[in-house]
Amino acid sequence: MATIPITKRGAEKLKQELHRLKTVDRPWVITAIADARAQGDLSENAEYEAAKDRQGFIEGRIQDIEGKLSAAQVVDPSSVDAGGKVVFGATVELEEEESGEAVRYQIVGEDEADLKHGLINVSSPIARALIGKEEGDTAEVQAPGGIKRYEIVGISYV
């Protein structure tokens, strides 16, 4: 199985969700199923069906997270020595050439991506265009409105 890159923060977040699913959500849904079962006829019991559906979701998510964590390659961006190149975990300051708009992104794993917080998926078009580049380089990204060019203003590993 291929390894999945993830930052320390992202791995910790997944571990916390897994802990919550196993210690809070799973016991709650087991109780909900037992309560619904106690009401009698299961063939017309909507609460029972909803609880079983929820149980299926919880168990599936637990398996998904455990699989990701077992295949995870945890990367601490602060300990990366990439020689000034953009790599996984790097925080990149960009300036859009046409508008002059400044943006800042950290390249993270799939489960961590959150554009509102400046966290972009390593497999996104912009991250793929940035990987391997250095400060002062220009990255071209195919966007829905056409090609956008970004100048790399700064790279940090935090």
| The pLDDT of residue 32 | 92
Average confidence (pLDDT) over 130-142? 93
CATH number 1.10.287.180 is the correct assignment for the domain at 4-75: yes
Q: Is residue 156's pLDDT more than 80?
A: yes
Q: Please compute, for residue 44, the number of CA atoms within 13 A of its CA located in the half-sphere on the CB side.
A: 2
The 3-state secondary structure of 73-119 reads EEECHHHCCCCCECCCCCEEEEEECCCCCEEEEEEECCCCCEHHHCE
Sorted by where each begins, the domain ranges of the chain are 4-75, 77-156
Residue labelled with tokens 């390249």: 107
Instruction: Select the more confidently predicted residue: 150 or 158.
Output: 150
What pLDDT score was predicted for residue 145?
Answer: 84
Model-wide pTM > 0.85: no
pLDDT tens, residue by residue, 61-114: 999 999 999 999 999 888 887 888 999 999 999 999 888 999 999 999 998 999
pLDDT(119) > 90: yes
Q: According to the model, what pLDDT value does residue 80 have? A: 81
Give 1's pLDDT tier (boundaries 50, 70, 90).
Answer: low
pLDDT for 33-68, tens place per residue? Answer: 999 888 877 777 888 999 999 999 999 999 999 999
Query: Domain 77-156 class?
Result: alpha beta
Are 105 and 91 spatial neighbours (Cβ–Cβ below 8 Å)?
A: yes
- C-alpha–C-alpha distance, residues 122 and 92, integer Å: 12
